[in-house]
Amino acid sequence: MLLIATVLFFSAYSFIFSAFYAIALAWIIERREKVYHLERVDGSASFLPGTLIFGMTFLLSSTLGAAHPDGMFKAHLAMLLVLFLYFLLHESHCRRRAEEYHSSQEQVLRNCRAALDKDPGSVYPRHRIVDILVARGEFAKAAIEMRALAELEKNVPNEWRLKELEEAAMKPKSSGPGLLAHLKKAVTGAREDDADTARCLAQIRQYPQNLALRHELAELYALRKEFAKAVQVMEELVKLDTSVQLQWRLQELKDAALRAADKPRGRTFMEAVEDFFFD
């Protein structure tokens, strides 16, 4: 009985520690999106590391638990130390990238505001301001800018987007997914934006003339860093709507696709190490 109880205890402990470790790793990885508002983190970015870590940790704990309990606890302490060091390096990397990104976006905002001071009726600068505010999660401010834009440029896509932003601004802010959400994501590997993309594709098949849906699909692909698909959808949209702002957006997506294809140059050693682990 004592042997059975010991085996059950170490099995349960190993499972709990392994699950905690995998969830903590997924939480660290997803901070680049949830906290620093960088690129969206798809399921594969946390699913594969989480699955491997869970399996290796559980195997190690189960092997050492019954035979060498002291060795198992020492191994767990060492793993927690490694996880903490990874967290510090990850935070440093995300802070550096967030500072670079937000600095560039602030410059774009200043340029757009300056353009509106010269020409208050210009619509493209307002589109860019809305895009940047949405990327930051500032939906209330984005809705204000979108309302002014919809008055200047009255069309269905702008009305749809204004409605979506007003609804997003009314939703209470979430503190991010909890432990159960992280565990579900680690187990299933589900991407949060797969459902949005599938919905958008289905609605486009049902309503092929709805330009707002095509625009939304292009932006979804852009958020996922799938710029080639975003360019393809936007090129089809520009054939149907030749407005200046869509042509500018198409060029931006093409530029983003080229930048994504180019490897960064002139990085420091630490930046190269960070990019190797986190990009």
| 183-220 tens-digit pLDDT | 444 444 444 456 667 777 877 777 777 777 788 788 88
User: For 36, which DSSP code?
Assistant: T
Query: Is residue 52 within 8 Å of residue 211, measured between CB atoms?
Result: no
How many CA atoms lie less than 13 Å away from 241 in the CB half-sphere?
22
* Closest listed residue to residue 218, CA positions, set 205, 200, 203, 206: 200
Alpha helices in 153-243 (DSSP H): 156-170, 179-188, 194-206, 211-223, 227-240
Q: What are the angstrom distances between the C-alpha of 198 and each of 60, 168, 211?
A: 39, 20, 17
Query: Is residue 17 within 8 Å of residue 57, measured between CB atoms?
Result: yes
pLDDT for 194: 61
pLDDT by residue for the chain (279 residues), tens digit each? 666 777 788 888 888 988 898 888 888 888 877 777 666 555 555 566 777 888 888 888 877 776 787 888 888 899 999 999 999 999 998 888 888 877 888 888 898 899 888 888 888 888 888 888 887 778 888 889 889 888 888 877 778 788 888 888 887 655 444 444 444 444 444 444 566 677 778 777 777 777 777 887 888 888 777 888 889 988 988 888 777 767 878 888 888 888 777 544 444 444 444 554 555
Does domain 193-279 fall under CATH 1.25.40? My reply is yes
Distance CA 30, CA 35 (A): 8
Distance CA 99, CA 74 (A): 38
Question: What tokens appear for 274 in the block?
Answer: 């960070």
pLDDT for 30: 80
pLDDT for 193: 52
**Length of the chain, please?**
279
Q: What is the pLDDT of residues 207-258, one digit of tens each?
A: 777 777 788 788 888 877 788 888 998 898 888 877 776 787 888 888 888 8
Q: Where are the domains of the chain?
A: 2-96, 193-279
Burial class of residue 216 in the structure, from the number of CB atoms within 10 Å of its CB (0-12 exposed, 13-18 middle, 19+ buried) = buried
* Dihedral sign from CA coordinates of 181, 273, 256, 101: positive
pLDDT for 77: 92
* Distance of alpha carbon 81 from the chain centroid: 27
Residues 54-72 as b/e (b if ≥16 CB within 10 A, e otherwise) read: beebbebbbebbeeeeeeb
Distance CA 204, CA 154 (A): 22
pLDDT for 165: 85
